[in-house]
Amino acid sequence: MAAKILIIEDEAAIQELIIYNLQQAGYETVSAENAEKAMSIINNELPDLILLDWMLPGMNGIEFARILRHGERTRLIPIIMLTARTQETDKVAGLEVGADDYVTKPFSPRELVARINAVLRRLIPEASDEVVEIDELRLDPVNHRVTDGNKEIELGPTEYRLLHFMMTHTERVYSRSQLLDRVWGDHVFVEERTVDVHIRRLRKALQLAGKDEWIQTVRGAGYRFSAVATLQAKDSNTQK
Amino acid sequence: MAAKILIIEDEAAIQELIIYNLQQAGYETVSAENAEKAMSIINNELPDLILLDWMLPGMNGIEFARILRHGERTRLIPIIMLTARTQETDKVAGLEVGADDYVTKPFSPRELVARINAVLRRLIPEASDEVVEIDELRLDPVNHRVTDGNKEIELGPTEYRLLHFMMTHTERVYSRSQLLDRVWGDHVFVEERTVDVHIRRLRKALQLAGKDEWIQTVRGAGYRFSAVATLQAKDSNTQK
DNA sequence: ATTTTTTTATACAGTTTTGTTACAATGGTC
DNA sequence: GACCATTGTAACAAAACTGTATAAAAAAAT
């Protein structure tokens, strides 16, 4: 599942340069020349990351970034600002409004791609195309396959995304509501208990590989993915 | 257990900017635009920290801070003031009324988060997400795990919170009623004896690690957590 | 030594949380 | 349109957790 990147840039030449390079790097791209078009795209297909030009016809990028940060659905989308300016104040203003990084023009395509990679890895690793492999368990976003050694594990779409998220966020407890936000999407109207059901389905699928214990219940808190072998100190006294 | 931060700020743009950044930083947020709403929120769900704008519609922040400091339940909640002014006198007034820190607008989100972290660490360490480690005993709030060396210690939710509180407040006696307030939460009505039971359960769990002696009974006063070598005139001939 | 107070230990019943399964609704595909 | 996979929810079962009562033990006071 290649990350989808929205490019908001009015200069056609630069836009095409970026599109070319991002596609080269394996990203899916959509683009808009102004804020209105950008908004309509965002409403249709939530991008994973937004490349936003500082100067836009009609509305400046800072303003637009602020609007995105206000939107319920768009709040969590990483934003990288493109700016011709190098003033420190602009940098600060950009970061203050919630940009996650910025690139000054002129930029090298390699630098741009590198920064995008970095931001995605940091903020939504499950949206990057990197293979995740833990022990023998391997999830390959490119061919959308999960394997254990040479055995293939079949998962439904939701279980796949859930596993992908968990494998890229291990050793950390996530509440049901956090999982809904990150795996289902922000503020999807779904019962929290639904998470349990999908956890169950995922565990069932992993059971064949004997890896179902990696998905752990943390009572009162949520779920945790952990492949670390820890000697349980239980079963010596907790019995009834 | 992410700390819950109440943001009292009437300017929508600033409020959302703060919300976004605090959520990014892993905090839970609630917000209010004026003093009344803030009060009603506080009555329902005690926040761990309050971010309070200096200027509020109807009532100024200083006044509100003073009210909070008088309230039985709210007295101990850390307050960080947000102010557009930089005058030294205001700073003084803010700190005098009991604010624990203050941040002047415009502020960088990083600074804000850093100050919040600092205040929380100082005043309610158990609400921050930092790992607590004493000797070999390690409690990690992020993955919600307690380990002794490489042995995992399994705890129920209440024992976990109790241990977390005690590990972050060592070398000090807490009465049962204090523990009920801080671990169970105020406004909870349970027998004081209940504390004994959970202390017992926690000790039992720690016993496997041989760390149960760290939870000490102070007769007539309460309990104390102390990892300091207990070289009391206790004469451990009675060992084993 | 005896009594009183405080703490520990344990059992138990009630409650909450989580696991599991079945089912109906949805939406895509042939 | 019929088929199929997938999804979310509800309902019930199972498990874990909680608070209280009670009895035993320990410490302090008499």
Inspect the interface and report whether the beta carbons of B17 and A236 lie closer than 8 Å: no
B132-238 CATH:
1.10.10.10
B153 at the A interface (CB within 8 A)? yes
Residue with the bigger pLDDT between A182 and A200: it is: A200
Asked if strand D contacts A234 at the CB level, meaning under 7 A, the answer is: no
| Across all strands, nucleotide nearest A223 (CA–C1') | C18
Closest CA to A131 of A145, A120, A115, A113: A145
Query: Strand C: which residues have Cβ below 7 Å from it?
Result: A 193, 196-197, 199-200, 203, 217-222; B 193, 196-197, 199-200, 203, 217-222
The CATH architecture that domain A4-127 belongs to is 3-Layer(aba) Sandwich (3.40)
Q: Which pLDDT value is given to residue A98?
A: 67
Inspect the interface and report whether the beta carbons of B208 and A237 lie closer than 8 Å: yes
Q: Which residue of A has its CA nearest to B27?
A: A178
Chain B positions touching A75 (Cβ under 8 A) are 20, 23
Under 8 Å between Cβ of A139 and A153: no
Q: Which residues contact B232 (CB under 8 A, 6 or more apart)?
A: none
Assess whether the previous peptide bond of B109 is cis (omega < 30° from 0): no
Nucleotides of D under 7 A from a protein CB: 5-11, 16-22, 27-28
Q: Which pLDDT value is given to residue A188?
A: 74
| Across all strands, nucleotide nearest B155 (CA–C1') | D17
Assess whether the previous peptide bond of A109 is cis (omega < 30° from 0): no
According to DSSP, residue A181 is labeled: I
φ, ψ at A132 (rounded to 5°): -110, 130
Per-residue pLDDT tens over the stretch A18-61: 999 988 888 888 888 888 888 888 877 778 899 988 877 777 77
Percent of chain A with pLDDT over 90: 24
Q: Where are the domains of chain B?
A: 4-127, 132-238
Q: Which pLDDT value is given to residue A107?
A: 82
Q: Which residue among A92, A98, A234 sits closest to B154, beta carbon to beta carbon?
A: A234
Asked if strand D contacts B234 at the CB level, meaning under 7 A, the answer is: no
Q: Which residues contact B146 (CB under 8 A, 6 or more apart)?
A: B137, B138, B139, B140, B152, B153, B154, B155, B160, B163
Q: Which pLDDT value is given to residue B16?
A: 79
Fold observed for domain A132-225: Arc Repressor Mutant, subunit A (1.10.10)
Same fold, B4-127 and B132-238: no
Rg over alpha carbons for chain B, rounded to the nearest Å, is 20
Q: Which pLDDT value is given to residue B51?
A: 93
Distance from C-alpha of B166 to C-alpha of B173, rounded to nearest angstrom: 10
Distance from C-alpha of B94 to C-alpha of B72, rounded to nearest angstrom: 20
The arithmetic mean of pLDDT across residues A113-124, rounded, is 84
Segments in chain B below pLDDT 70: 1, 85-96, 229-240
The arithmetic mean of pLDDT across residues A80-103, rounded, is 68
B122 at the A interface (CB within 8 A)? no
Q: Which residue among A69, A75, A172 sits closest to B143, beta carbon to beta carbon?
A: A172
Inspect the interface and report whether the beta carbons of B17 and A226 lie closer than 8 Å: no
The number of helix segments (H) and strand segments (E) in chain A equals: 8, 13
Q: Which pLDDT value is given to residue B92?
A: 63
Q: Which pLDDT value is given to residue A205?
A: 92
Q: Which pLDDT value is given to residue B185?
A: 85
Between CA B87 and C1' C22 the distance (Å) reads 67
Type of residue found at B154 = E
B117 at the A interface (CB within 8 A)? no
Q: Which pLDDT value is given to residue B49?
A: 94
Chain B nearest C-alpha distance from A17 (Å): 31
DSSP A84-113: S---HHHHHHHHHTT-SEEEESS--HHHHH
Chain B positions touching A226 (Cβ under 8 A) are 143
B108 at the A interface (CB within 8 A)? yes
- C-alpha dihedral sign at B23, B28, B32, B35: negative
Question: Quick check: A238 pLDDT over 60?
Answer: no
Question: Quick check: A89 pLDDT over 60?
Answer: no
Inspect the interface and report whether the beta carbons of A233 and B144 lie closer than 8 Å: no
SS3 at position A176: helix
Residue with tokens 């795209």: A41
Under 8 Å between Cβ of A120 and A113: no
Inspect the interface and report whether the beta carbons of B152 and A231 lie closer than 8 Å: yes
* Alpha-carbon distances of B116 from B27, B48, B83, B112, rounded to whole Å: 10, 11, 15, 6
